Amino acid sequence: MATRRAFSTECERLTTPIQKREVHAPDALIIGGGAAGLTLALQLADQLQVAIVCKGPLNESSTYYAQGGIAAVLDAGDSVDKHVADTLSAGAGLCHEDVVRYTVENSTAAIDWLIDQGVPFTENESGPAKYHLTREGGHSHRRIIHAADATGKAVSETLTANARSHPNINFLPSRVAVDLILVDSDEGRHCAGAYVLNRDTGRVECFSARFTVLATGGASNVYLYSSNPNVASGDGIAMAWRAGCRVANMEFNQFHPTCLYHPQARSFLLTEALRGEGAYLRLPDGERFMPRFDERAELAPRDIVARAIDHEIKRLGIDCVFLDITHRPADFIESHFPNVRARCLEYGLDISREPIPVVPAAHYTCGGVMVDLCGRTDVSQLYAIGETAFTGLHGANRMASNSLLECIVWGRAAAADIFAQSRDVALPEPAPPWDESQVTDSDEDVIISHNWEELRRFMWDYVGIVRTTKRLQRASHRIQLLQQEIAEYYSNYKVSNDLLELRNLSVVARLIIESASARKESRGLHYTLDFPAPAPLAIDTILNPAEFAATD
């Protein structure tokens, strides 16, 4: 597993300047352009120069594809205490209550800021409240503010447009971070920027920055089936681990219960709000099955619903189950779920007339890089926010629509901390340019695609919704062999986007396997047949890179 030694090994490649120095020197380098990164950039830009590097085109992030909405205390009948209680219940004993309360107490201000930014949330057609609120699984109250059924798109497009128009924000798309630039001194280790591959030119650029922020999203593409865009390959988590940062609770991977099952569709997520507005889950014969698993039925937390669907699929040997909202009026469906309806119509499915075939898919990484209430990691001047980070908010199971809230709240918190430190942190000296003198162009890229397929398939089979000790042992053996192959390939060939993603996913896979193996109980999203009951005491799984031998 990657350790501090990995940085020393990395430095061996950076000793011979063989390519033209391409140096960027912003005050703050933000890696990732989703809700967390954009919020931070807009908060910082009035006083600091900001660079945002994005792996793909602008808006290509998990934020853009989020449908349901953002949970916040916005209704007079709701309260901070109720929202906190629901979150703690969903988190199965592992939420950090101080973090949950901090997040919920700042939820109203976060929504007000988004409204000020111009996010077009859906308004009420009648009633005293201005905005329409819906309810999702695990919530005891209607508190989900949304923009129809494409909230993430509305947030992403609004914040991106505002950031692009700001003179102090420089967007740099089609770039993927390779690794962090680290400096050791008498005061300890600090981050001085990152090496970044320009996918258009094939050259590795040097970004020297006073502050570096990992906002790369989660790692759901470590699994065969995922609702996330292709960019969600755990890059920030893997880079932070190689830099010496601790990670926590990587065994808790949320599988969204209802993703479209269709041979021509790549796991299109069907929003939680469908069940919030009365959709039923049915077997092929029309039977509702969720009441057999939980008294909350379709509104049970996602881990329970996903496990129930997985159980029924395996019990009956069927390919999928069905999500049925045909009992609601067609005009209601069209007005509340226009995006879902339109997308399903592309595949010949009219959701107002027929149930939707669905399967679970990897959706959200609840663990991540350990941070404090300001987003600071174990490495000075390095922050992690959004799905990349482990704040303690989600515990063993993320409650629906708390993730975008976390992005906004922690983006604002990190900005305040960076401002507080900015007077005392100088721009670092440029790091040595990237060295490619000891590597060649690959003529065996087929190895990358084969390893990618093997990794995602055994993670799905052995480290998926239901686990066993034997499955985890098999996965551990395979990931160690796979990491050795990837390390050899990385040492001999020029870096590419696919190689970097595979390298990072292999690190994340190892962290998930190690974390799942260490948890001898079933809790929240981690369910193992060998330890089906929860342990008496709920404890976070914390991994420290200093404690593992270098294999990355």
pLDDT digits (tens, 9 = 90+) for 144-166: 999 988 899 999 999 999 999 99
The active-site residue out of 135, 175, 302, 519 is: 302
pTM value is 0.88
CATH 1.20.58.100 applies to domain 446-532: yes
Q: Mean pLDDT, the chain, as a whole number?
A: 90
Q: Averaged over 341-366, what is the pLDDT?
A: 95
Task: State the pLDDT at residue 323.
Answer: 98
Task: State the pLDDT at residue 3.
Answer: 33
Q: What percent of the chain has a predicted confidence (pLDDT) above 90?
A: 73
Q: Give the span between the Cα atoms of 75 and 59, in whole angstroms.
A: 30
- Order of strands, edge to edge, in the sheet holding 23-24? 23-24, 204-208, 188-198, 175-185
The residue among 454, 472, 452, 453 whose CA lies nearest residue 462 is 472
Task: State the pLDDT at residue 169.
Answer: 97
**Which tens digits make up the pLDDT trace of 181-191?**
999 888 888 99
Question: Does residue 231 register a pLDDT over 50?
Answer: yes
CATH number at 5-13+23-251+366-422: 3.50.50.60
The answer to whether residue 302 is catalytic is: yes
CATH 3.90.700.10 applies to domain 255-363: yes
Question: Does residue 333 register a pLDDT over 80?
Answer: yes
The residue that leads in pLDDT, 276 or 507, is 507
Q: What percent of the chain has a predicted confidence (pLDDT) above 70?
A: 94
Confidence of residue 370 (pLDDT cuts 50, 70, 90): very high
Task: State the pLDDT at residue 64.
Answer: 82
Question: Does residue 21 register a pLDDT over 60?
Answer: no
Domain coordinates in residue numbering, the chain:
5-13+23-251+366-422, 255-363, 446-532
The residue that leads in pLDDT, 310 or 550, is 310
Question: Does residue 506 register a pLDDT over 60?
Answer: yes
Q: Averaged over 466-483, what is the pLDDT?
A: 96
Q: Give the span between the Cα atoms of 157 and 120, in whole angstroms.
A: 10
Task: State the pLDDT at residue 230.
Answer: 84
Q: Could you tell me if 399 and 296 are in contact, meaning their C-beta atoms sit under 8 angstroms apart? A: no
Task: State the pLDDT at residue 482.
Answer: 95
Residue 198's Cβ-count burial label (10 Å; 0-12, 13-18, 19+) is: middle
Question: Does residue 446 register a pLDDT over 90?
Answer: no
Task: State the pLDDT at residue 400.
Answer: 85
Q: Averaged over 95-118, what is the pLDDT?
A: 98
Q: Averaged over 54-74, what is the pLDDT?
A: 86
Q: Averaged over 461-488, what is the pLDDT?
A: 94
Question: Does residue 552 register a pLDDT over 70?
Answer: no
Q: Give the span between the Cα atoms of 266 and 262, in whole angstroms.
A: 8
Task: State the pLDDT at residue 443.
Answer: 65
Q: Averaged over 436-451, what is the pLDDT?
A: 77
Question: Does residue 372 register a pLDDT over 80?
Answer: yes
**Cα–Cα distances in Å, from 407 out to 13, 357, 502?**
35, 31, 26
Whole-number CA gyration radius for the chain: 23
Stretch (H or E) spanning 180: strand 175-185
Q: Averaged over 439-458, what is the pLDDT?
A: 83
Q: Averaged over 379-394, what is the pLDDT?
A: 98
Confidence of residue 549 (pLDDT cuts 50, 70, 90): low
Q: Averaged over 251-266, what is the pLDDT?
A: 89
Task: State the pLDDT at residue 435.
Answer: 79
Q: Give the span between the Cα atoms of 443 and 180, in whole angstroms.
A: 27
Confidence of residue 531 (pLDDT cuts 50, 70, 90): very high
Question: Does residue 7 register a pLDDT over 50?
Answer: no
Q: Could you tell me if 469 and 528 are in contact, meaning their C-beta atoms sit under 8 angstroms apart? A: yes
Q: Worst-scoring range by mean pLDDT, 18-22, 53-57, 334-338, 505-509?
A: 18-22
Confidence of residue 14 (pLDDT cuts 50, 70, 90): very low
Q: Sort strands 211-214 and 382-384 into parallel, antiparallel or unpaired.
A: parallel
Task: State the pLDDT at residue 551.
Answer: 45
Q: Worst-scoring range by mean pLDDT, 62-66, 335-339, 505-509?
A: 62-66
Full DSSP string of 209-252:
-SEEEE-----GGGSSSBSS-TT-S-HHHHHHHHTT--EE-TT-
Confidence of residue 22 (pLDDT cuts 50, 70, 90): low
User: Alpha-carbon torsion 114, 116, 120, 122, what sign?
Assistant: positive
